[in-house]
Structure 1
Amino acid sequence: MHTGLYDATMGMLVDQAQVDMISNNLANVNTYGFKTDSMTFAATMQRELYKEIVPSKFSPIGKMTNAVVVNSVLPNMSEGALQQTGRKLDYAIDGSGFFAVRDGNQILYTRDGSFNISPDGELVDNMGREVLGAALQPIMADSGQAPAVFNVANPSYLQKVGGNAFVSTAQSGPFILDPNGKVMQGYLETSNVNAVKEMVDLINAFQNYQIAQKAITTQDSMMTTGINVGSVT
Protein backbone atom coordinates (compact mmCIF):
# COMPACT_ATOMS: atom_id res chain seq x y z
CA MET A 1 0.00 0.00 0.00
CA HIS A 2 1.16 3.53 -0.72
CA THR A 3 2.77 4.97 2.42
CA GLY A 4 0.69 8.14 2.39
CA LEU A 5 -2.56 6.19 2.13
CA TYR A 6 -1.49 3.92 4.98
CA ASP A 7 -0.55 6.84 7.23
CA ALA A 8 -3.83 8.64 6.62
CA THR A 9 -5.86 5.48 7.14
CA MET A 10 -4.15 4.76 10.45
CA GLY A 11 -4.82 8.36 11.46
CA MET A 12 -8.52 7.91 10.75
CA LEU A 13 -8.62 4.76 12.89
CA VAL A 14 -7.01 6.60 15.81
CA ASP A 15 -9.42 9.53 15.42
CA GLN A 16 -12.41 7.15 15.32
CA ALA A 17 -11.21 5.47 18.50
CA GLN A 18 -10.96 8.87 20.16
CA VAL A 19 -14.48 9.80 19.04
CA ASP A 20 -15.85 6.56 20.51
CA MET A 21 -14.00 7.06 23.80
CA ILE A 22 -15.03 10.70 24.19
CA SER A 23 -18.65 9.87 23.31
CA ASN A 24 -18.68 7.29 26.09
CA ASN A 25 -17.23 9.83 28.53
CA LEU A 26 -19.92 12.36 27.65
CA ALA A 27 -22.66 9.74 27.91
CA ASN A 28 -21.61 9.16 31.53
CA VAL A 29 -21.33 12.79 32.62
CA ASN A 30 -24.19 12.19 35.10
CA THR A 31 -23.10 8.70 36.21
CA TYR A 32 -22.08 8.70 39.87
CA GLY A 33 -18.49 7.62 40.47
CA PHE A 34 -17.69 7.41 36.75
CA LYS A 35 -14.06 7.92 35.71
CA THR A 36 -13.17 9.33 32.30
CA ASP A 37 -10.98 7.37 29.91
CA SER A 38 -7.89 8.75 28.20
CA MET A 39 -5.71 7.29 25.46
CA THR A 40 -1.98 6.83 25.05
CA PHE A 41 -0.44 6.37 21.63
CA ALA A 42 2.56 4.56 20.19
CA ALA A 43 4.47 4.78 16.93
CA THR A 44 4.44 1.70 14.75
CA MET A 45 6.48 0.52 11.78
CA GLN A 46 9.45 2.73 12.64
CA ARG A 47 12.26 2.69 10.11
CA GLU A 48 15.85 3.76 10.65
CA LEU A 49 17.15 6.54 8.42
CA TYR A 50 20.81 6.61 7.38
CA LYS A 51 23.09 8.94 5.47
CA GLU A 52 25.89 7.68 3.28
CA ILE A 53 29.24 8.93 4.56
CA VAL A 54 31.47 6.92 2.22
CA PRO A 55 30.59 4.25 -0.35
CA SER A 56 28.92 1.29 1.38
CA LYS A 57 29.11 2.98 4.81
CA PHE A 58 26.14 4.65 6.45
CA SER A 59 25.52 6.69 9.59
CA PRO A 60 22.15 6.61 11.42
CA ILE A 61 20.39 9.98 11.51
CA GLY A 62 17.09 9.03 13.15
CA LYS A 63 13.82 7.23 12.59
CA MET A 64 10.83 7.71 10.35
CA THR A 65 7.50 6.67 11.81
CA ASN A 66 4.87 5.37 9.43
CA ALA A 67 1.88 5.55 11.74
CA VAL A 68 0.53 6.09 15.23
CA VAL A 69 -1.75 3.58 16.92
CA VAL A 70 -3.69 3.48 20.18
CA ASN A 71 -1.37 2.01 22.79
CA SER A 72 -3.71 1.87 25.79
CA VAL A 73 -6.89 3.32 27.28
CA LEU A 74 -6.48 4.28 30.93
CA PRO A 75 -9.00 5.67 33.41
CA ASN A 76 -8.49 9.10 34.92
CA MET A 77 -8.83 8.36 38.63
CA SER A 78 -9.13 11.96 39.85
CA GLU A 79 -11.95 12.36 42.37
CA GLY A 80 -15.29 13.82 41.40
CA ALA A 81 -17.10 16.35 43.56
CA LEU A 82 -19.09 15.06 46.54
CA GLN A 83 -22.79 15.79 46.34
CA GLN A 84 -24.95 15.72 49.45
CA THR A 85 -28.19 13.77 48.96
CA GLY A 86 -29.34 13.10 52.53
CA ARG A 87 -30.35 9.59 51.44
CA LYS A 88 -29.25 6.96 53.96
CA LEU A 89 -28.44 4.39 51.26
CA ASP A 90 -26.04 6.73 49.47
CA TYR A 91 -22.33 6.52 50.28
CA ALA A 92 -19.26 8.32 48.99
CA ILE A 93 -15.57 7.74 49.63
CA ASP A 94 -13.72 10.88 50.69
CA GLY A 95 -10.29 10.24 49.20
CA SER A 96 -8.96 7.21 47.38
CA GLY A 97 -10.52 3.77 47.49
CA PHE A 98 -13.36 1.65 46.14
CA PHE A 99 -16.45 -0.20 47.30
CA ALA A 100 -16.52 -3.95 46.70
CA VAL A 101 -19.52 -5.63 45.07
CA ARG A 102 -20.12 -9.27 44.20
CA ASP A 103 -21.20 -10.16 40.68
CA GLY A 104 -21.79 -13.91 40.66
CA ASN A 105 -18.47 -15.46 41.65
CA GLN A 106 -16.47 -12.34 40.83
CA ILE A 107 -15.70 -9.40 43.11
CA LEU A 108 -15.68 -6.02 41.38
CA TYR A 109 -14.83 -2.57 42.67
CA THR A 110 -16.61 0.74 42.12
CA ARG A 111 -16.76 4.35 43.26
CA ASP A 112 -20.53 4.48 42.73
CA GLY A 113 -22.16 4.39 46.16
CA SER A 114 -25.78 4.77 45.09
CA PHE A 115 -27.17 1.67 46.81
CA ASN A 116 -30.56 0.05 47.37
CA ILE A 117 -32.09 -2.77 49.44
CA SER A 118 -32.65 -6.19 47.88
CA PRO A 119 -35.76 -8.32 48.63
CA ASP A 120 -33.52 -10.27 51.02
CA GLY A 121 -32.65 -7.11 52.95
CA GLU A 122 -29.10 -6.89 51.61
CA LEU A 123 -27.39 -3.71 50.47
CA VAL A 124 -27.03 -3.84 46.68
CA ASP A 125 -25.92 -1.46 43.94
CA ASN A 126 -28.06 -0.28 41.03
CA MET A 127 -27.29 -3.48 39.11
CA GLY A 128 -28.37 -5.72 41.98
CA ARG A 129 -24.82 -6.69 42.97
CA GLU A 130 -24.22 -7.33 46.67
CA VAL A 131 -22.25 -4.65 48.49
CA LEU A 132 -19.53 -6.18 50.64
CA GLY A 133 -18.04 -5.44 54.04
CA ALA A 134 -14.50 -5.75 55.33
CA ALA A 135 -14.66 -9.57 55.34
CA LEU A 136 -16.06 -9.58 51.78
CA GLN A 137 -19.45 -10.66 53.06
CA PRO A 138 -22.80 -9.11 52.04
CA ILE A 139 -24.05 -6.26 54.22
CA MET A 140 -27.57 -6.33 55.65
CA ALA A 141 -29.19 -2.94 55.14
CA ASP A 142 -30.54 -2.79 58.73
CA SER A 143 -27.19 -3.71 60.31
CA GLY A 144 -25.92 -0.15 60.43
CA GLN A 145 -22.67 -1.37 58.87
CA ALA A 146 -21.04 0.92 56.33
CA PRO A 147 -19.52 -0.50 53.13
CA ALA A 148 -15.82 -1.29 53.41
CA VAL A 149 -13.15 0.58 51.44
CA PHE A 150 -10.51 -1.24 49.39
CA ASN A 151 -7.54 0.22 47.58
CA VAL A 152 -4.71 -0.62 45.18
CA ALA A 153 -1.18 0.68 44.78
CA ASN A 154 -1.66 2.08 41.25
CA PRO A 155 -5.35 2.77 40.53
CA SER A 156 -4.57 4.39 37.16
CA TYR A 157 -3.86 0.90 35.80
CA LEU A 158 -7.18 -0.63 36.83
CA GLN A 159 -9.25 -2.23 34.09
CA LYS A 160 -12.84 -1.23 33.43
CA VAL A 161 -15.21 -4.18 33.07
CA GLY A 162 -18.55 -2.45 32.52
CA GLY A 163 -21.26 -1.58 34.97
CA ASN A 164 -19.10 1.29 36.27
CA ALA A 165 -16.76 -1.24 37.91
CA PHE A 166 -13.09 -2.16 37.88
CA VAL A 167 -10.84 -5.17 38.37
CA SER A 168 -7.17 -5.18 39.29
CA THR A 169 -4.30 -5.82 36.88
CA ALA A 170 -0.69 -6.82 37.35
CA GLN A 171 0.29 -3.15 37.04
CA SER A 172 -2.32 -1.86 39.50
CA GLY A 173 -1.59 -4.44 42.17
CA PRO A 174 -4.27 -6.34 44.13
CA PHE A 175 -7.11 -4.77 46.07
CA ILE A 176 -6.59 -4.75 49.82
CA LEU A 177 -8.74 -3.52 52.68
CA ASP A 178 -8.09 0.12 53.60
CA PRO A 179 -8.96 0.50 57.30
CA ASN A 180 -8.41 4.27 57.03
CA GLY A 181 -10.85 4.75 54.17
CA LYS A 182 -13.38 7.48 54.93
CA VAL A 183 -16.99 6.75 53.98
CA MET A 184 -19.57 9.53 54.04
CA GLN A 185 -23.23 8.52 54.34
CA GLY A 186 -25.81 10.66 52.56
CA TYR A 187 -23.32 11.71 49.85
CA LEU A 188 -22.48 10.58 46.32
CA GLU A 189 -19.40 11.20 44.21
CA THR A 190 -20.25 12.79 40.90
CA SER A 191 -18.58 11.91 37.60
CA ASN A 192 -15.18 13.48 36.97
CA VAL A 193 -16.06 14.16 33.33
CA ASN A 194 -15.20 17.70 32.24
CA ALA A 195 -17.91 18.20 29.62
CA VAL A 196 -16.33 21.34 28.11
CA LYS A 197 -12.94 19.68 27.67
CA GLU A 198 -14.52 16.55 26.21
CA MET A 199 -16.51 18.59 23.68
CA VAL A 200 -13.37 20.43 22.57
CA ASP A 201 -11.51 17.12 22.22
CA LEU A 202 -14.44 15.67 20.27
CA ILE A 203 -14.41 18.57 17.81
CA ASN A 204 -10.65 18.20 17.33
CA ALA A 205 -11.00 14.45 16.72
CA PHE A 206 -13.71 15.07 14.10
CA GLN A 207 -11.59 17.70 12.36
CA ASN A 208 -8.52 15.45 12.31
CA TYR A 209 -10.64 12.64 10.89
CA GLN A 210 -11.87 14.90 8.09
CA ILE A 211 -8.33 16.07 7.30
CA ALA A 212 -7.11 12.47 7.03
CA GLN A 213 -10.12 11.62 4.87
CA LYS A 214 -9.31 14.47 2.48
CA ALA A 215 -5.67 13.34 2.37
CA ILE A 216 -6.75 9.88 1.25
CA THR A 217 -9.02 11.34 -1.44
CA THR A 218 -6.23 13.61 -2.71
CA GLN A 219 -3.63 10.81 -2.81
CA ASP A 220 -6.06 8.48 -4.53
CA SER A 221 -6.72 11.13 -7.18
CA MET A 222 -2.97 11.69 -7.70
CA MET A 223 -2.32 7.96 -8.04
CA THR A 224 -5.16 7.62 -10.54
CA THR A 225 -3.77 10.50 -12.59
CA GLY A 226 -0.28 8.98 -12.48
CA ILE A 227 -1.57 5.60 -13.65
CA ASN A 228 -3.56 7.16 -16.48
CA VAL A 229 -0.60 9.27 -17.62
CA GLY A 230 1.75 6.30 -17.44
CA SER A 231 -0.58 4.16 -19.51
CA VAL A 232 -0.73 6.59 -22.44
CA THR A 233 0.92 5.10 -25.53
Structure 2
Amino acid sequence: MSRGFYALTSGMLTQQRKIDISSNNVANLNTAGYKREQAVTSNFGSLLINKYKQDGISKEAEPLGNVSVIRTVEESNTIHSQGTLEETGRSLDFAINGAGFFAMENNGDIFYTRNGSFNIDAEGYLYLQGAGRVQGEYGEIYLGTDNFEFQNGSITVDGEETDRVAVYDFQDYNSLTKVREGLYTSGEYPELVEYPQISNQTIERSNVDVTKELTDIMSAQRSLQTAAQAFKIYDMLQDKAVTEIGKIN
Protein backbone atom coordinates (compact mmCIF):
# COMPACT_ATOMS: atom_id res chain seq x y z
CA MET A 1 0.00 0.00 0.00
CA SER A 2 2.76 2.46 0.93
CA ARG A 3 4.45 1.80 -2.41
CA GLY A 4 1.32 3.13 -4.11
CA PHE A 5 1.53 6.34 -2.09
CA TYR A 6 5.14 6.84 -3.16
CA ALA A 7 4.34 6.18 -6.82
CA LEU A 8 1.31 8.51 -6.85
CA THR A 9 3.11 11.28 -4.99
CA SER A 10 6.08 11.14 -7.36
CA GLY A 11 3.67 11.13 -10.30
CA MET A 12 1.92 14.26 -9.03
CA LEU A 13 5.24 16.05 -8.46
CA THR A 14 6.47 15.00 -11.91
CA GLN A 15 3.36 16.28 -13.68
CA GLN A 16 3.51 19.56 -11.76
CA ARG A 17 7.14 20.00 -12.81
CA LYS A 18 6.16 19.38 -16.44
CA ILE A 19 3.44 22.02 -16.15
CA ASP A 20 5.95 24.50 -14.69
CA ILE A 21 8.43 23.91 -17.54
CA SER A 22 5.80 24.24 -20.29
CA SER A 23 4.33 27.33 -18.60
CA ASN A 24 7.78 28.93 -18.54
CA ASN A 25 8.16 28.18 -22.25
CA VAL A 26 4.86 29.92 -22.98
CA ALA A 27 5.86 32.88 -20.80
CA ASN A 28 9.00 33.32 -22.93
CA LEU A 29 7.22 33.03 -26.25
CA ASN A 30 8.25 36.59 -27.17
CA THR A 31 11.74 36.49 -25.63
CA ALA A 32 14.25 36.93 -28.45
CA GLY A 33 16.55 33.95 -28.87
CA TYR A 34 14.82 31.87 -26.16
CA LYS A 35 15.12 28.11 -26.52
CA ARG A 36 12.34 25.89 -25.24
CA GLU A 37 12.95 23.35 -22.52
CA GLN A 38 11.47 19.92 -22.00
CA ALA A 39 11.30 17.73 -18.92
CA VAL A 40 13.59 14.70 -18.72
CA THR A 41 12.25 11.98 -16.42
CA SER A 42 14.22 9.14 -14.84
CA ASN A 43 13.82 6.40 -12.29
CA PHE A 44 14.34 7.40 -8.67
CA GLY A 45 15.43 4.31 -6.79
CA SER A 46 14.58 0.71 -7.65
CA LEU A 47 13.73 -2.59 -6.07
CA LEU A 48 15.77 -5.72 -6.74
CA ILE A 49 13.44 -8.60 -7.57
CA ASN A 50 14.78 -11.99 -6.46
CA LYS A 51 13.50 -15.52 -6.79
CA TYR A 52 14.30 -17.57 -3.70
CA LYS A 53 14.67 -21.32 -3.73
CA GLN A 54 14.90 -23.55 -0.68
CA ASP A 55 18.06 -25.63 -0.48
CA GLY A 56 18.22 -27.45 2.84
CA ILE A 57 18.25 -24.81 5.56
CA SER A 58 19.64 -22.00 3.36
CA LYS A 59 18.02 -19.82 0.74
CA GLU A 60 19.71 -18.89 -2.50
CA ALA A 61 18.53 -15.77 -4.30
CA GLU A 62 18.42 -15.64 -8.08
CA PRO A 63 18.23 -12.01 -9.32
CA LEU A 64 15.43 -11.44 -11.82
CA GLY A 65 15.91 -7.71 -12.39
CA ASN A 66 15.09 -4.24 -11.13
CA VAL A 67 11.79 -2.43 -11.01
CA SER A 68 11.38 1.30 -10.50
CA VAL A 69 9.25 2.52 -7.62
CA ILE A 70 9.24 6.22 -8.43
CA ARG A 71 9.67 8.22 -11.63
CA THR A 72 10.68 11.85 -11.33
CA VAL A 73 11.84 14.83 -13.40
CA GLU A 74 15.63 14.63 -13.35
CA GLU A 75 16.31 17.83 -15.28
CA SER A 76 15.09 20.02 -18.12
CA ASN A 77 16.65 19.64 -21.53
CA THR A 78 17.12 22.72 -23.73
CA ILE A 79 16.12 22.35 -27.40
CA HIS A 80 18.55 24.48 -29.43
CA SER A 81 16.65 24.47 -32.72
CA GLN A 82 16.50 27.59 -34.89
CA GLY A 83 13.75 30.11 -34.16
CA THR A 84 12.00 32.19 -36.81
CA LEU A 85 13.92 35.27 -38.03
CA GLU A 86 11.89 38.47 -37.99
CA GLU A 87 12.85 41.79 -39.54
CA THR A 88 12.47 44.70 -37.11
CA GLY A 89 14.03 47.62 -38.97
CA ARG A 90 15.99 48.45 -35.80
CA SER A 91 19.71 48.96 -36.49
CA LEU A 92 20.86 47.40 -33.19
CA ASP A 93 19.03 44.11 -33.73
CA PHE A 94 21.06 41.12 -34.93
CA ALA A 95 20.20 37.47 -35.56
CA ILE A 96 22.28 34.38 -36.24
CA ASN A 97 21.07 32.16 -39.06
CA GLY A 98 22.52 28.75 -38.23
CA ALA A 99 24.56 27.42 -35.32
CA GLY A 100 26.37 29.56 -32.79
CA PHE A 101 26.00 32.17 -30.06
CA PHE A 102 26.81 35.81 -29.47
CA ALA A 103 29.29 36.33 -26.61
CA MET A 104 28.97 38.92 -23.84
CA GLU A 105 31.62 39.98 -21.34
CA ASN A 106 30.64 41.23 -17.91
CA ASN A 107 33.29 41.81 -15.22
CA GLY A 108 35.42 38.97 -16.51
CA ASP A 109 32.55 36.54 -17.01
CA ILE A 110 31.58 35.39 -20.51
CA PHE A 111 27.96 34.69 -21.36
CA TYR A 112 26.50 33.21 -24.54
CA THR A 113 23.12 33.93 -26.08
CA ARG A 114 21.07 33.89 -29.27
CA ASN A 115 19.35 37.11 -28.20
CA GLY A 116 20.64 39.84 -30.49
CA SER A 117 18.43 42.68 -29.31
CA PHE A 118 21.34 44.96 -28.42
CA ASN A 119 21.73 48.57 -27.28
CA ILE A 120 24.57 51.08 -26.88
CA ASP A 121 25.75 51.76 -23.34
CA ALA A 122 26.77 55.13 -21.86
CA GLU A 123 30.35 54.66 -23.09
CA GLY A 124 29.36 53.82 -26.66
CA TYR A 125 29.81 50.03 -26.56
CA LEU A 126 27.36 47.52 -28.01
CA TYR A 127 25.77 45.57 -25.15
CA LEU A 128 22.92 43.30 -24.14
CA GLN A 129 21.00 44.47 -21.10
CA GLY A 130 21.63 42.25 -18.09
CA ALA A 131 24.41 40.33 -19.84
CA GLY A 132 27.29 42.62 -20.80
CA ARG A 133 29.14 44.02 -23.78
CA VAL A 134 29.00 42.24 -27.11
CA GLN A 135 32.26 40.64 -28.17
CA GLY A 136 33.77 41.14 -31.58
CA GLU A 137 36.77 39.36 -33.03
CA TYR A 138 38.99 42.05 -31.48
CA GLY A 139 37.23 42.42 -28.14
CA GLU A 140 34.36 44.63 -27.00
CA ILE A 141 32.61 46.32 -29.92
CA TYR A 142 32.73 50.11 -29.76
CA LEU A 143 30.23 52.00 -31.92
CA GLY A 144 29.59 55.35 -30.34
CA THR A 145 26.55 55.72 -32.60
CA ASP A 146 23.66 53.70 -33.98
CA ASN A 147 24.45 55.05 -37.44
CA PHE A 148 26.63 52.34 -38.99
CA GLU A 149 26.79 49.93 -41.89
CA PHE A 150 26.70 46.16 -41.48
CA GLN A 151 27.71 43.61 -44.08
CA ASN A 152 28.87 39.98 -43.76
CA GLY A 153 29.38 40.36 -40.01
CA SER A 154 31.49 43.50 -40.39
CA ILE A 155 30.56 46.80 -38.72
CA THR A 156 31.63 50.01 -40.48
CA VAL A 157 31.38 53.46 -38.89
CA ASP A 158 32.15 56.57 -40.95
CA GLY A 159 33.61 54.40 -43.71
CA GLU A 160 36.01 52.58 -41.37
CA GLU A 161 35.59 48.96 -40.29
CA THR A 162 35.60 48.86 -36.49
CA ASP A 163 35.16 45.14 -35.85
CA ARG A 164 33.32 41.97 -36.80
CA VAL A 165 30.59 40.50 -34.60
CA ALA A 166 31.95 37.26 -33.17
CA VAL A 167 29.89 34.08 -33.19
CA TYR A 168 30.99 31.09 -31.14
CA ASP A 169 29.83 27.49 -31.24
CA PHE A 170 30.27 24.40 -29.08
CA GLN A 171 30.87 20.77 -29.96
CA ASP A 172 28.68 19.69 -27.06
CA TYR A 173 25.71 21.87 -26.10
CA ASN A 174 25.38 19.84 -22.89
CA SER A 175 28.35 21.88 -21.63
CA LEU A 176 26.13 24.97 -21.53
CA THR A 177 24.77 26.01 -18.15
CA LYS A 178 21.66 28.17 -18.08
CA VAL A 179 22.07 31.45 -16.18
CA ARG A 180 18.66 32.88 -17.01
CA GLU A 181 16.26 32.77 -19.93
CA GLY A 182 18.32 32.50 -23.12
CA LEU A 183 21.65 33.20 -21.40
CA TYR A 184 24.32 30.55 -20.80
CA THR A 185 27.83 29.98 -19.52
CA SER A 186 30.17 27.12 -20.35
CA GLY A 187 33.29 25.50 -18.97
CA GLU A 188 34.15 24.37 -22.50
CA TYR A 189 36.27 26.62 -24.70
CA PRO A 190 34.14 27.55 -27.75
CA GLU A 191 35.14 27.64 -31.39
CA LEU A 192 34.99 30.90 -33.35
CA VAL A 193 32.71 30.48 -36.37
CA GLU A 194 34.72 31.75 -39.32
CA TYR A 195 31.90 32.73 -41.66
CA PRO A 196 28.75 33.22 -39.57
CA GLN A 197 25.47 34.14 -41.19
CA ILE A 198 24.31 37.23 -39.29
CA SER A 199 21.34 39.38 -40.27
CA ASN A 200 21.05 43.01 -39.18
CA GLN A 201 17.77 44.74 -38.28
CA THR A 202 16.50 41.26 -37.52
CA ILE A 203 15.94 39.20 -34.37
CA GLU A 204 15.47 35.49 -33.81
CA ARG A 205 12.16 34.66 -32.18
CA SER A 206 11.87 31.88 -29.61
CA ASN A 207 11.49 28.33 -30.91
CA VAL A 208 8.46 27.74 -28.67
CA ASP A 209 5.46 26.09 -30.32
CA VAL A 210 2.64 27.49 -28.19
CA THR A 211 0.12 24.91 -29.44
CA LYS A 212 2.36 22.03 -28.37
CA GLU A 213 3.11 23.62 -25.00
CA LEU A 214 -0.57 24.18 -24.21
CA THR A 215 -1.35 20.60 -25.25
CA ASP A 216 1.42 19.32 -22.95
CA ILE A 217 0.09 21.44 -20.08
CA MET A 218 -3.45 20.05 -20.48
CA SER A 219 -2.12 16.48 -20.69
CA ALA A 220 -0.04 16.94 -17.53
CA GLN A 221 -3.00 18.52 -15.72
CA ARG A 222 -5.21 15.54 -16.55
CA SER A 223 -2.53 13.13 -15.30
CA LEU A 224 -2.11 15.20 -12.15
CA GLN A 225 -5.85 15.16 -11.44
CA THR A 226 -6.03 11.39 -12.03
CA ALA A 227 -3.14 10.77 -9.63
CA ALA A 228 -4.76 13.04 -7.02
CA GLN A 229 -8.02 11.10 -7.22
CA ALA A 230 -6.20 7.79 -6.93
CA PHE A 231 -4.28 9.15 -3.95
CA LYS A 232 -7.57 9.92 -2.17
CA ILE A 233 -8.79 6.37 -2.83
CA TYR A 234 -5.55 4.91 -1.45
CA ASP A 235 -5.93 7.06 1.63
CA MET A 236 -9.51 5.91 2.17
CA LEU A 237 -8.51 2.25 1.76
CA GLN A 238 -5.66 2.57 4.23
CA ASP A 239 -7.89 4.32 6.74
CA LYS A 240 -10.49 1.57 6.38
CA ALA A 241 -7.86 -1.15 6.74
CA VAL A 242 -6.54 0.37 9.97
CA THR A 243 -10.07 0.75 11.32
CA GLU A 244 -11.10 -2.80 10.47
CA ILE A 245 -7.92 -4.31 11.88
CA GLY A 246 -8.55 -2.44 15.11
CA LYS A 247 -11.93 -4.22 15.45
CA ILE A 248 -10.36 -7.69 15.39
CA ASN A 249 -10.23 -9.22 18.86
| TM value normalised by structure 1 | 0.91
Q: Which residue of 2 aligns with 1:147?
A: 165
Q: Does 1:218 align with 2:197?
A: no
Q: Distance in 1 between matches of 2:29 and 2:138?
A: 33
Q: Which runs of 5+ in 2 are unaligned?
A: 146-154, 157-162
Q: Distance in 1 between matches of 2:28 and 2:164?
A: 26
Q: Distance in 2 between matches of 1:66 and 1:213?
A: 18
1:177-230 Cα offsets, whole Å, 9 max, x none, are: 222222111111110000000000001111111111112111111000000001
Give 1:116 shift.
Answer: 1.2
Give 1:95 shift.
Answer: 0.4
AA aligned opposite 1:9 = T
Q: Distance in 2 between matches of 1:148 and 1:2?
A: 57
Contact between 1:132 and 1:139, CA under 8 Å: does it hold in 2? no
1:50-97 Cα offsets, whole Å, 9 max, x none, are: 234554334333322100122221210000011112221111111000
- Aligned counterpart in structure 2 of residue 196 of structure 1, from 207, 211, 222: 211
Contact between 1:74 and 1:157, CA under 8 Å: does it hold in 2? no
- Aligned counterpart in structure 2 of residue 92 of structure 1, from 91, 95, 103: 95
Q: Which residue of 1 aligns with 2:79?
A: 76
Aligned residues: 230
Q: Which has the higher strand share?
A: 2
Contact between 1:76 and 1:156, CA under 8 Å: does it hold in 2? no
AA aligned opposite 2:15 = D
| TM value normalised by structure 2 | 0.85
AA aligned opposite 1:27 = A
Q: Distance in 1 between matches of 2:205 and 2:242?
A: 58
Q: Secondary structure at the match of 1:25?
A: helix
Q: Distance in 2 between matches of 1:136 and 1:58?
A: 66
Give 1:15 shift.
Answer: 1.1
Q: Distance in 2 between matches of 1:141 and 1:93?
A: 23
Q: Which runs of 5+ in 1 are unaligned?
A: none
- Aligned counterpart in structure 2 of residue 132 of structure 1, from 126, 130, 135: 135
AA aligned opposite 2:138 = A
Q: Which residue of 2 aligns with 1:184?
A: 199
Q: What percent of counterpart residues are identical?
A: 30
Q: Which residue of 1 aligns with 2:150?
A: none
Q: Which residue of 2 aligns with 1:3?
A: 3
